[in-house]
């Protein structure tokens, strides 16, 4: 019997973009409880770049195909999978948790110490086929294309978890979202508006400022202007914002904290501009600021965001769609911040 093969984007060692390659590899066979997906589209995330450069939290298997934001069709079922059929159009919740620890039992699955990510700790969607546990499947929302669903996945649940679940953003509050062109930021603007908040965003060019306004930002500043922080604070009547949603890291922590009102909350997820920041401790207690960590999102949060997108309330923000063969170009776009919204790899049809 000849082994059936597929094309996968993978790397055998960590490093710069040139470690990424397309190779023919065996089509994987689903184990009990798993399905095999024929991938239609897979969006890139900063995670793909970070894992390629080096392991983020613990070692990863090599060679590795990353890709956590997948939309496709069920192609084969492992033993014991019920409720799904071959041909079903689906997307994937990418977090695999233990289900047994105190956090999982309390519903806080994103802090499960045993958690693993499909596309980081096992092969993901930047290949023609991939495996996934059946319990991680979600039916594809009917009104959205595969590319749109892939573009929403991780960023929509991450933004929801940050703003609604962790920062407890309320109607009438003001939120500052730096780096409006980022995937989570561009959905965060929309979720904050849906929650009834006033949104101030920052970005780097007049073209990106116009796009942030189109998504619903009430006020947009250009962070290349010297006085942009004063502009944010002036715009709140001198008070500062209630919540800052920061995904950028070391480069923006100082300014995000400065924009906060007394008693304000900064919710953080991501540090790609740098992992260390010298905190001025008195400003935290004098102004009674909160720094809140957030990581990923839950299955239910992803379902909620997808339902809102299916109803037209949230809009996927897609910068461009590339063929899988352009995987290095996809990584370049993310690394050089040459985008507004998601870069999606079209894998199949």
Rule CB under 5 A: is residue 112 a binding residue for Zn ion?
yes
Sign of the four-CA dihedral 232, 235, 241, 245: negative
- Report 82-101 residues binding Zn ion (CB under 5 A): 97-98, 101
Backbone angle region of 270, left / alpha / beta, with phi > 0 → left and psi within -120 to 50 → alpha? left
Beta bridge partners of 222: 203
Record the tokens describing residue 249, joined without a space. 């890291």
- Judged by beta carbon, residue 101 or residue 284, the one nearer Zn ion is 101
Rule CB under 5 A: is residue 104 a binding residue for Zn ion?
yes
- Report 281-310 residues binding Zn ion (CB under 5 A): none
Pairwise CA distance, residues 74 & 107, whole Å: 28
Rule CB under 5 A: is residue 41 a binding residue for Zn ion?
no
- Shortest gap between Cβ of 107 and Zn ion (angstroms)? 11
Inter-residue contact 11 to 19 (CB < 8 Å): yes
- Judged by beta carbon, residue 73 or residue 97, the one nearer Zn ion is 97
Q: What are phi and psi of 273, to 5 degrees?
A: -90, 0
Residues 263-282: x where in contact with Zn ion by CB under 5 A, - otherwise, as a string: --------------------
Question: What does DSSP say about strands 34-43 and 342-346: parallel, antiparallel, or unpaired?
Answer: antiparallel
- Shortest gap between Cβ of 98 and Zn ion (angstroms)? 3
- Considering all CA atoms of the chain, what is the largest pairwise distance in Å, rounded to the nearest integer? 73
- Judged by beta carbon, residue 101 or residue 250, the one nearer Zn ion is 101
| Residues ≥6 apart with Cβ < 8 Å to 293 | 166, 267, 268, 269
Q: Which residue is nearest to Zn ion (CB)?
A: 112
Q: Pick the stretch among 25-33, 102-110, 116-124, 246-254 that binds Zn ion (CB under 5 A).
A: 102-110
- Shortest gap between Cβ of 90 and Zn ion (angstroms)? 24
Residues 245-264: x where in contact with Zn ion by CB under 5 A, - otherwise, as a string: --------------------
- Shortest gap between Cβ of 86 and Zn ion (angstroms)? 31
∠ Cα 157 160 165 (to 5°) = 120
- Shortest gap between Cβ of 314 and Zn ion (angstroms)? 29
- Shortest gap between Cβ of 104 and Zn ion (angstroms)? 3
- Judged by beta carbon, residue 101 or residue 322, the one nearer Zn ion is 101
- Judged by beta carbon, residue 68 or residue 112, the one nearer Zn ion is 112
- Shortest gap between Cβ of 133 and Zn ion (angstroms)? 14
| Residues ≥6 apart with Cβ < 8 Å to 82 | 134
Sign of the four-CA dihedral 143, 148, 150, 154: negative
> Whose structure tokens read 């461009």?
320
- Report 4-33 residues binding Zn ion (CB under 5 A): none
Question: Which residues of this protein are in contact with Zn ion, per CB under 5 A?
Answer: 97-98, 101, 104, 112
């Amino acid at each position: 019997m000849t082994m059936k093969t597929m094309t996968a984007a993978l790397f055998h060692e960590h490093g710069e973009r040139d470690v990424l390659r397309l190779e023919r590899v065996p089509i994987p066979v689903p184990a009990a409880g798993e399905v095999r997906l024929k991938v239609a589209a897979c969006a890139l995330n900063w995670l793909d770049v970070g894992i390629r450069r080096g392991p983020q939290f613990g070692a990863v298997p090599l060679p590795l195909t990353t890709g956590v934001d997948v939309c496709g069709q069920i192609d084969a079922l492992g033993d014991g999978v019920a409720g799904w059929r071959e041909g079903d159009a689906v997307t994937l919740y990418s977090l695999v948790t233990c289900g047994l620890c105190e956090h999982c039992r309390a519903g806080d699955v994103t802090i499960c110490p045993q958690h693993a990510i499909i596309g980081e700790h096992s092969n993901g969607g930047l290949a023609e086929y991939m495996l996934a546990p059946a319990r991680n499947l979600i039916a594809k929302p009917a009104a959205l294309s595969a590319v749109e669903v892939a573009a929403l996945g991780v960023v929509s649940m991450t933004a929801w978890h940050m703003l609604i679940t962790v920062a407890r953003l309320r109607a009438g509050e003001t939120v500052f979202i730096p780096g409006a062109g980022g995937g989570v930021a561009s959905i965060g603007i929309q979720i904050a508006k849906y929650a009834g908040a006033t949104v101030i965003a920052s970005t780097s060019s007049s073209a990106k400022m116009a796009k942030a306004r189109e998504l619903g930002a009430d006020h947009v500043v250009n962070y290349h202007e010297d006085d942009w922080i004063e502009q944010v604070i002036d715009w709140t009547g001198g008070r500062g914002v209630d919540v800052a949603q920061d995904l950028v890291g070391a480069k923006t922590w100082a300014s995000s904290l400065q924009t906060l009102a007394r008693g304000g909350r900064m919710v953080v997820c991501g540090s790609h501009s740098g992992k260390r920041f010298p905190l001025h401790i008195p400003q935290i207690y004098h102004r009674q600021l909160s720094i809140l960590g957030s990581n990923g999102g839950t299955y239910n949060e992803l379902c909620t965001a997808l339902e809102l997108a299916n109803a037209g309330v949230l809009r996927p923000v897609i910068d461009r769609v590339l063929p899988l063969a352009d995987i290095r170009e996809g990584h370049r776009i993310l690394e050089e911040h040459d985008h507004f919204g998601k870069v999606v790899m079209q894998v199949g049809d």
